[in-house]
Amino acid sequence: MPDTLPPPATSVAHIRWFETARHGRRDIAEEVPVALVYDASTEAVMMATPADLEDFAYGFSLNEGLISEPTDIQRLDIVSGPDGIEARMWLTPDKSRRLTARRRSRTGPTGCGLCGIESLEDVLRLRGELPPSELQLSVVDIMSAVESLESQQPLGQQTRAVHAAGFWTPEGGLIATREDVGRHNALDKLAGALARQATDPNRGAIVLTSRVSVEMVQKAVAMGAPILIAISAPTALALRTAEAAGLTIVGIARHNGFEVFTRTERIVF
């Protein structure tokens, strides 16, 4: 990655009031436009934290169904410019042809979190099926996963302004964490990190600092993780989608409790 990328956080002057006013400085999270470019054509532009962008490029590509495995990307360059950052990817010939055909059939523009959607029917369509899993987590496991994620968010602790997505296994604990100003981006970065490390998401649970929307469920299913744990609540559509896909949703997870919404057989009380 070139040295010209902006830092993930910037120190700014502020006035802090706590019983009295004091001048000081605070680190503020950066967000920049990141264009995901495939074979010289831009597929999406996301506002993201300028860190772990290789993981973001791989994870976005996998979760959006543009590639099937990391080796489908033959080359990846992170290029910083005056208006933002480009993740320039060159795909294998087969994947390049498929993406070209997909672009030709597209009927309209897309928005954040639903990139590449061609019709309303595609909004609820799951990308891939959740593979069978024997994974079960105990109450202690879930508490440990949540507490581990809290302690592994350096940018979050620095700025108090970013989301985190982590991957926790009973054997290894929290083995990967990625942060971003966007919750979708954090999960995509985690997906890319796991894929590049050849880590099987079927072995553990995804842990999020955000609410669980349908897009987060779709990404978790695309990754192949059987359990999704979040500190916030899910939406109704997310639960219906998770139930249909066989995904266990644990929400409102705190130090002293949590709520299990779907596929409760994977949680041992």
Catalytic residue among 7, 25, 33, 112: 112
CA separation for the pair 54, 116 (Å, rounded)? 20
Residues 166, 130: contact at Cβ < 8 Å?
no
Concatenate the DSSP letters of all residues of 2-54 into one string.
-TTSPPSEEEEEEEEESSSEEEEEEEEE--EEEEEEETTEEEEEEEE-SSSHH
Q: Which residues pair with 16 in a beta bridge?
A: 22
Which amino acid, residue 128?
G
**Has 115 been annotated as catalytic?**
no
Radius of gyration (C-alpha) of the chain in whole angstroms: 19
DSSP H helices in the chain: 53-63, 93-105, 120-123, 139-151, 154-159, 183-196, 214-223, 236-245
Catalytic residue numbers? Answer: 112
